[in-house]
Structure 1
Amino acid sequence: MLSDNVNRKSAFCANCAYFAVDYREKTCYTETTIMKGQNIMELKNTLLEIQTQLDKHAFSQYAILVGYGDREWQYMSEGVDLDSYFDAASIGKVFPTSALALHAISEGLLSLDDTLEKYFPGVPKDKNKITVKNLMTHTSGLLRRQYPKRLGLRGRKGVAEFIFSNPLAYETGSHFAYCCDGIILLGFIVEKVLGMTLEEAFETYVKKPLGMTRSTYHIKIDEENMVMCNHRADLGGLIYDDNNVRELCGIPAGCGGNFITAGDLQKFVKALIRKDPCLYSDETFALAEQNYTGGLPILDAIRNTENHGLGFVYVNEACLQARDLFPEGSIGHSGWSGQSFYLNRELGLYVIILSDSMRSFCLNYPKGNHSDKVHQMRIDIHRAVKKDLGL
């Protein structure tokens, strides 16, 4: 739990357009190191890189977990443990939204070829042939738009109608353009086919079967054991970082807005590595981990140049954040606030990074492209792990 005896400072970040209040204690070096396995050595280069990132304010609080074969390393800052909440940001697109969609596909409740008109009667003609596959691979033609205030008060139907009211940016299937709105629609579809809310589906099909502890949606601003990763608390004391997620007014967002712990994310990653049937079938694992967007023109190369499987990022030369450590065919995802996980099943290799990176950069560097800095932080840590493991 974080101490109440902290130094407080405030900063307005024009780049990210939010007001952040800093409740951190200044952190120096890794406070907790846990190693498991036979003949295990310290990851010296990784520890040095963590200190380097701390020195340049790339984060102040973090949990960095590495697994390789039967060996594990856990590095956590002061006040952080495996049960500390972090803002999932876009990791929520996979954990749990895409995982739940894949579960529904595995159970025969959903098909990649299902179109929007099956689940949203009256969808405009230009969008009625968008498929579940298009939503999961960011090839729908939809682009993120700023939501109007309190859009969620119109209900899920009203949110979908607003998304449909915007023109397509490109012909469906012709380009790749990373899009939160498509995953929000995917979340609504998952709710329809599973007959429960996204939050309930996560509890039923992911959290309980894999023995997870705290990961959830809608935590309070004064939640215990929580890492501050930027926050907006203007809706009943709940935390909403993303502008559009905030305007959903409590409707679970398929694109993010959930809160995860390092311990729970590690359980999810290990389940992916062992192809746990609790998630979905072997056939669905193979289906999910292909490159569906390689060769497609990228509409917004500045924001995202990565190739995608079904929900997951597909690691290859286009995946700048992971390619130095993870071979082609690895999968993972990242989140705006400073989170990421990547894994390779054949090597039994994974790296989980949970942090307050975006918040730390915004507080310490009011100007500049913070996303690029967060990306570089991941690259640097992955390179250090590679050096330590001799890969």
Structure 2
Amino acid sequence: MKMVTNAFLVFFFYICAFCWHGLAVAQNLNSQIDSLITEKIPSEGPGAVVLVARGDSILYRKAFGQANLELQVPMKPDQVFQIGSMTKQFTAIAILKLMEEGRLHLEDDVRRFIPDYPTPEGSVTIHHLLNHTSGIKDFTSMRSIMEIARKDLRPQELIDFFKNEPMDFKPGTQFKYNNSGYVLLGYIIEKVSGKSYEEYIESELFTPAGMTDSRYAHYREIVPNRAYGYHNRKGYTNKLHISMNIPYASGALMASSDDLLKWQRALQTEKLVTRRTLELALSPKKLADGSPVEYGYGWHIKTIEGAKSIEHGGSVFGFKSMGVFLPEKDLYVVGLTNCDCISPTQLVREIATVALSNKQETQ
């Protein structure tokens, strides 16, 4: 009987020691991330939400700073932000979903969907648009962009704004990040599906992924937990107003960090597209001459501490965002800020590095 009791005590103390060690590891990870964030984000100004997860398990989820400066509303972890160019991954997956259904092909010429679109330098394909290798002029770099910034243009009108601009290079010969390409992709989604871009994204991506806080950004709608956006130019100001019809399929979505984790998990569990199709999106491509491009379809392909990193940031008036996925560790880190004076890009990569080095949490 004494031997049984002793064995039980040994087992009990082993379990306690294991739990205490796990708690200490988690506390260490939390304190390290806290330190990185508080160095960059003052508590009295606009703030951020940061989430770190491994698989379905949330390792870290906190809010910093203020969601509304005028009302002095502290930021909460479930705040909803405009995510800017992180929108592109949703547009890319929508296109690939239509491809899986046989309704379009990656080598389709843009003129199949927009017959009068000029391509003087050669065929521009859906692949080129997805991969930023089309050579089409990026409309956000045009000097006249502010002339339309507040206009509620229809997609065709937005395309008309840039379609006759000279091309930067022959399709497939260079990589140059390009918002115009994703505007064209949004319009192609509408033409093929018979739904507006907003309707398609909400019904075919948000709903099956369980993303209840995500939507196309509209100023007139009442959005629960909406964070307000700011600039800091010799002092904080409310963000400039632009029509969200302008960023459109290249940058007009909004989401919470919780919803972005749901999005990531839906991709990994084949709720939206097959694993084969997802791998197509997350694989680096090549130019016509065989030169590598560190971009797939809707995501940059990089490395962090030698580990493959699938990532993308976003910037739109008043907001910045960054998401990093490390597939070898099934680790996802996302940071959302409500001031375009706070860039989460390097911060999120640093947090991912800390999480990677934490063996207990990432094994």
TM over 0.5: yes
Partner of 1:112: 106
Partner of 1:144: 138
Partner of 1:269: 264
What per-residue deviation string (whole Å, max 9, x for no partner) do you get for residues 255-310 of structure 1? 11221111111100112222x2x311233123222111479899xxxxxx971111
Partner of 1:178: 177
What per-residue deviation string (whole Å, max 9, x for no partner) do you get for residues 30-56 of structure 1? xxxxxxxx9564252453343343233
Correspondence for 2:285 among 292, 300, 303: 292
Deviation at 1:347, TM superposition (A): 2.2
Question: Using a 3 Å threshold, how does the CA distance of structure 1 residues 225 and 135 change in structure 2: closer, same or farther?
Answer: same
What per-residue deviation string (whole Å, max 9, x for no partner) do you get for residues 369-389 of structure 1? xxxx64332333222222334
Rounded Cα–Cα distance in structure 1 between residues aligned with 2:120 and 2:205: 35
Correspondence for 2:338 among 347, 353, 356: 356
- Is 1:90 the equivalent of 2:85? yes
Rounded Cα–Cα distance in structure 1 between residues aligned with 2:338 and 2:31: 18
Rounded Cα–Cα distance in structure 2 between residues aligned with 1:295 and 1:121: 25
Partner of 2:41: 57
Deviation at 1:101, TM superposition (A): 0.9
Question: Using a 3 Å threshold, how does the CA distance of structure 1 residues 389 and 194 change in structure 2: closer, same or farther?
Answer: farther
Rounded Cα–Cα distance in structure 2 between residues aligned with 1:295 and 1:46: 46
**Sequence identity of aligned pairs in percent?**
24
Q: How does 1:7-156 map to 2 (within 5 A)?
A: 39=22, 41-42=25-26, 44-57=28-41, 60-69=46-55, 71-77=57-63, 79-94=74-89, 96-126=90-120, 129-145=123-139, 146=142, 147=145, 149-150=147-148, 155-156=154-155
What per-residue deviation string (whole Å, max 9, x for no partner) do you get for residues 69-122 of structure 1? 56422322264445321111110111x211111111111112100111111121
Partner of 1:327: 307
Partner of 2:230: 230
Rounded Cα–Cα distance in structure 1 between residues aligned with 2:152 and 2:335: 34
Structure whose alpha-carbon radius of gyration is higher: 2
Partner of 2:234: none
Q: How does 1:172-251 map to 2 (within 5 A)?
A: 172-220=171-219, 223-230=223-230, 246=242, 250=245
Rounded Cα–Cα distance in structure 2 between residues aligned with 1:294 and 1:48: 40
- The one-letter amino acid of 2:58's match is E
Rounded Cα–Cα distance in structure 2 between residues aligned with 1:346 and 1:52: 24
Q: With the length of structure 1 as denominator, give the TM-score of the two structures.
A: 0.71
What secondary structure sits across from 2:250 in the alignment?
A: coil
Q: Is the 8 A contact 1:115 1:128 kept in 2?
A: no
RMSD between superposed Cα atoms in Å: 3.2
Deviation at 1:340, TM superposition (A): 1.6
Rounded Cα–Cα distance in structure 2 between residues aligned with 1:184 and 1:70: 32
Question: Using a 3 Å threshold, how does the CA distance of structure 1 residues 67 and 294 change in structure 2: closer, same or farther?
Answer: farther
Structure 1 alignment gaps of length 5 or more: 1-37, 232-238, 299-304, 317-322, 362-372
Question: Using a 3 Å threshold, how does the CA distance of structure 1 residues 124 and 76 change in structure 2: closer, same or farther?
Answer: same
What secondary structure sits across from 1:342 in the alignment?
A: strand
Deviation at 1:137, TM superposition (A): 0.4
Partner of 2:10: none
Q: Is the 8 A contact 1:176 1:297 kept in 2?
A: no
What secondary structure sits across from 1:350 in the alignment?
A: strand
Correspondence for 1:309 among 296, 299, 304: 296
**Larger proportion of strand:** 2
Deviation at 1:132, TM superposition (A): 0.4
What per-residue deviation string (whole Å, max 9, x for no partner) do you get for residues 305-350 of structure 1? 971111121124xxxxxx23x722x423111233122223342221
What secondary structure sits across from 1:201 in the alignment?
A: helix
- The one-letter amino acid of 1:123's match is Y
Q: Is the 8 A contact 2:307 2:328 kept in 1?
A: no
Deviation at 1:220, TM superposition (A): 2.8
Q: Is the 8 A contact 2:172 2:288 kept in 1?
A: no
Structure 2 alignment gaps of length 5 or more: 1-20, 65-73, 232-237
Partner of 1:345: 327
What per-residue deviation string (whole Å, max 9, x for no partner) do you get for residues 194-237 of structure 1? 11011101111111112121211133377442223337xxxxxx
Q: Is the 8 A contact 2:78 2:225 kept in 1?
A: yes
Question: Using a 3 Å threshold, how does the CA distance of structure 1 residues 54 and 229 change in structure 2: closer, same or farther?
Answer: farther
Q: Is the 8 A contact 2:312 2:324 kept in 1?
A: yes
Q: Is the 8 A contact 1:215 1:264 kept in 2?
A: yes
Question: Using a 3 Å threshold, how does the CA distance of structure 1 residues 378 and 74 change in structure 2: closer, same or farther?
Answer: closer
What secondary structure sits across from 2:251 in the alignment?
A: coil
Q: Is the 8 A contact 1:69 1:348 kept in 2?
A: yes
Rounded Cα–Cα distance in structure 1 between residues aligned with 2:115 and 2:55: 49
What secondary structure sits across from 1:287 in the alignment?
A: helix
- The one-letter amino acid of 1:137's match is N
- The one-letter amino acid of 1:312's match is W
- The one-letter amino acid of 2:274's match is S
